[in-house]
Amino acid sequence: MDKVKILIADAHYMFIRGIESILSDDETMEIVGKAQNGHDAYELVQQYKPDVLLMDVNLPNIDGLEVLRKISENMPEVKVLLLTIDEIEDQLFEALRLGAKGYLLKNLLPNELLTFIHMVYRGESIITGPIVRKIVEFITSHQPSELKSVRTLKKTDILTKREKEILMHVIKGYTNREIAASLYISENTVKNHLRNIMEKLQMNNRVQAATFALQEGWLQNI
């Protein structure tokens, strides 16, 4: 089986070494490059075309969000998993809007990191518990009129009630199987709904779609 190719980007050399140590415990992963600033990270992604870019949000030279934007536009097949030490609200929503496959706090456990990388590689999207709570707090503390989208392209509310329910579960961090069990539907039905949602909203992944719907105020009172 081919190994998952990982590229690590972080400003701190010791953190990179720590990630290297963790990933070395998993024989299915291979580190293909390391960068300590955004410019080098993007250059190495172009050169090595990793399966997963594990990147700090705050990088010198070019910040992580700008690197993410460029990758989403030019190499969407590269899955970007962002790491941060802070739960900055605007940064979180912008990262998900730009197509990040995951947004994780750096205090996660080694086994969690390995699991999340494999999940992202399989095409799933990941948000850790503390960040999920941040999103839920944002939902409950804002009125629909306050939830303004940062997307240039304005979309009307074209989602069904069931689609909104599914996105609400996505925001809470549920897997497809957990969503299916909660709503008493099949996992394939969940996948079909998510596919329809992403087509309607012209989004690349389910977290991105859920974030947009949240910011538009469509998930209030669901």
Q: Check which CATH number belongs to the domain holding 47 and give it.
A: 3.40.50.2300
Residues 57 and 96 reside in one and the same domain: yes
Burial environment of residue 199 by CB neighbours within 10 A (0 to 12, 13 to 18, 19 or more): exposed
pTM over 0.85: no
- Asked if residue 151 is part of any domain, the answer here is yes
The CATH number of whichever domain residue 154 belongs to comes to 1.10.10.10
Strand, coil or helix: what is 157?
coil
Helix (H) or strand (E) holding 80: strand 79-84
**Total number of domains constituting the chain:** 2
pLDDT for res 137: 60
Residues 80 and 155 reside in one and the same domain: no
Domain boundary among 98, 129, 160: 129
Residues 103 and 174 reside in one and the same domain: no
Residues 162 and 200 reside in one and the same domain: yes
- Asked if residue 186 is part of any domain, the answer here is yes
pLDDT for res 79: 94
- Asked if residue 134 is part of any domain, the answer here is no
pLDDT for res 135: 62
Helix (H) or strand (E) holding 74: helix 64-74
Tokens of 43: 């250059």
- Asked if residue 137 is part of any domain, the answer here is no
Domain boundary among 91, 108, 129: 129
Residues 84 and 120 reside in one and the same domain: yes
For residue range 134-160, what is the model confidence (pLDDT) as tens digits? 665 655 555 444 444 444 445 667 899
Structural domain that includes position 190: 142-215
pLDDT for res 89: 62
pLDDT for res 150: 41
Residues 125 and 177 reside in one and the same domain: no
Residues linked to residue 52 through DSSP beta bridges, in sequence order? 6, 79
Residues 61 and 122 reside in one and the same domain: yes
CA distance linking residue 205 with residue 186, whole number of Å: 20
Tens of pLDDT along the chain (222 residues) come to 689 999 999 999 999 999 999 999 899 999 999 999 999 999 999 999 999 999 999 999 999 999 999 999 999 999 999 998 876 666 777 887 788 888 888 888 899 899 989 988 988 777 765 566 666 565 555 544 444 444 444 566 789 999 999 998 887 778 888 899 999 999 999 999 998 998 888 887 787 788 788 777 788 767
Residues 125 and 180 reside in one and the same domain: no
| Helices 206-215, 187-201: crossing angle, 10 deg rounding | 60
Residues 177 and 209 reside in one and the same domain: yes
CB contact at 8 A, 187 and 180: yes
pLDDT for res 144: 47
Residues 120 and 12 reside in one and the same domain: yes
